[in-house]
Amino acid sequence: MNGRTAIWADPRGRKWLLLSQGALVGQVIFDLAIPLAIRQIVNNGILAGNFDKVIKGSLYMAVFSIASMLFATACAWYAARVGEEVGHRLRLGLYSKVTHLSWGNVD
């Protein structure tokens, strides 16, 4: 691995990139499930007068919210790892370039 390899070309970098994007997809799925649970609470619970559906829908919303939070945390953690790897590669490339300059270019 050198400083010029793209992040997706390296298996280690690709792993963090794919995990971050997978966690983002999980977060979005659970974020979109919350309005569906609200719709079920309103239509099948409140308007129908079924208190059990309201409780069940509220529990689903709580589970969806917690799952979304966990996926968002994982996405941020994996994205930070990708950022660290990109920064490391940029520093390697910059240091390599600076060390290969002649003293006339540095002064």
In this predicted model, what pLDDT tens digit does every residue of 61-95 receive, in sequence order?
Answer: 999 999 999 999 999 999 999 988 888 888 988 88
Residue 107's pLDDT band (cuts 50, 70, 90): low
For 21-38, give the DSSP string. HHHHHHHHHHHHHHHHHH
Residue type at 10 in one-letter notation: D
Q: What is the pTM of this model?
A: 0.78
φ, ψ at 2 (rounded to 5°)? -115, 180
Q: How far apart are CA 64 and CA 28, in angstroms?
A: 11
